[in-house]
Amino acid sequence: MTATDKAREIEERTAFFDRVKGIRVASWATGLLLAAAAVVAAVLQPNLLTPYGVSSTFATFLPLVLVAVAQSFVVIGGGLDLSAGAIVALSSVVAVQAMRGEEGTALIGFLAAVGTGFACGAVNGLIVSRLRLQPLIATFATASVFSGLALFVLPTPGGTVPAAMTETFRQAIAGVPVSLLLVVAVAIGWLALRKLRVFRYIRASGGNPAAAYASLVPVAGARFASYAICGAVCGLAAVAVLGNSGSGDPFIGGDLALNSIAAVVIGGIALRGGIGSPIGAIAGAITLSLASTILFSVGLPTSWRALATGLVVILALSLSALGAPRRQR
């Protein structure tokens, strides 16, 4: 094989992977999967739609929903964060140690979790935007660092959070569970803030970095901001974990990173960046969580969750392909 042939082969493979990264799930396919999962889950668990069922279900879903939203900012900006789960774990144990179960320290724990998450995201952002390392490799490495720090802060699961935090998390306002209200608040917050310049910069940098740079968009700054925002939202997810469990666990973020990426894909966000919305990530996270609920209802072991996640992603992409014009397929 000549050098020309080898260069042509490399170009063809690069073009192929670029096309794969550009595949996205259509919004109607995301909605169809979400509706189907909700119907099946409600049939298998009739108490799912009761006030208690909705409250406990969304309390369980909320951490993944928040991490999926966090991941969506990075992916839309053209990156990827494999350390999101480790950030949640580290933020949660730092908050537990800051509160130590004492009443009146819930605000301290909240600030500690969000601050820790923001600091971790800022580290990722500096490595990716300033040192210009590949996001996949950089965040894989920082995930190990953050996980090690979580074990250093809290070597074994334990500790308690103030009763006010868990009680507030399980309450209802006008009959609507707080956990569900928080999901709605996240969606409304995005709709209210999406026109901010930083979010426009993040989208532009992910869609076409060269064109964004030529248009005087601070691409490096936008990428740093995407990771910093991701870390802060992961800190919020850590608060949700503590509010639901009532104690700290350094191993809590094990599957959150990969599941959040799956939720982002199901939500119609292209992995090449620049396309999609955190609203879709919310729908994708709820769909994945409902799939796990369905597996539990039919008595299948939790080890099948990874299989269910993969099947849901494949089904979502297949629906989009079938619904696309023949030329696009």
List pLDDT tens digits, range 64-120. 999 999 999 999 998 999 999 999 999 999 999 998 878 888 889 999 999 999 999
The predicted structure's pLDDT at residue 32 = 85
Query: Where are the strands (E) in the chain, listed by range?
Result: 172-173, 176-177
* 5-19: average pLDDT: 53
Contact 273/81 with Cβ under 8 angstroms?
no
| Predicted local distance difference test score (pLDDT) of residue 294 | 84
Answer whether residue 143 is part of any domain.
Answer: yes
Residue 83 lies in a domain: yes
Domain that residue 82 falls in? 59-287
Per-residue pLDDT at 170 exceeds 70: yes
Is 180 within a domain?
yes
| 306: nearest Cα among 258, 269, 237 | 258
Count the Cβ atoms, other than its own, within 10 Å of residue 191. Answer: 12
Has residue 3 been placed in a domain?
no
Question: Residue with structure tokens 């004492």?
Answer: 102
User: 266 and 313 in contact (C-beta within 8 Å)?
Assistant: yes
Question: What is the per-residue pLDDT for 166?
Answer: 82
- Sign for the CA dihedral angle at 159, 124, 240, 110 comes to positive
Q: How many domains does the chain have?
A: 1
Percentage helix, strand, coil for the chain under 3-state DSSP, each rounded to 5? 75, 0, 25
Say which residue the tokens 């939500």 belong to. Answer: 267
Q: Is residue 212 part of a domain?
A: yes
Average pLDDT of the residues in 237-258: 87
How many Å apart are CA 151 and CA 318, to the nearest integer? 41
* CA 118/CA 52 separation, integer angstroms: 33
Reported confidence tier of residue 327, pLDDT bands at 50, 70, 90: very low
pLDDT at res. 212: 85
What band does 122 get if pLDDT is binned at 50, 70 and 90?
very high
> What are the helix and strand counts (H, E) for the chain?
14, 2
Enter the tokens of residue 7.
């260069």
Fill in the DSSP letter of residue 49. G
pLDDT at 329: 47
DSSP line for 136-157:
HHHHHHHHHHHHHHHHHH-SSS
Answer whether residue 144 is part of any domain. yes
Asked whether residue 292 is assigned to any structural domain, the reply reads no
Would 128 be classed as within a structural domain?
yes
Query: Within a 10 A sphere around the Cβ of 328, how many other Cβ atoms?
Result: 8
> What is the percent of the chain where pLDDT is above 90?
33
Task: Kindly state the average pLDDT of the residues 126-141.
Answer: 91
- Label residue 303 by pLDDT band (50, 70, 90): low
Supply the pLDDT for residue 18.
Answer: 54
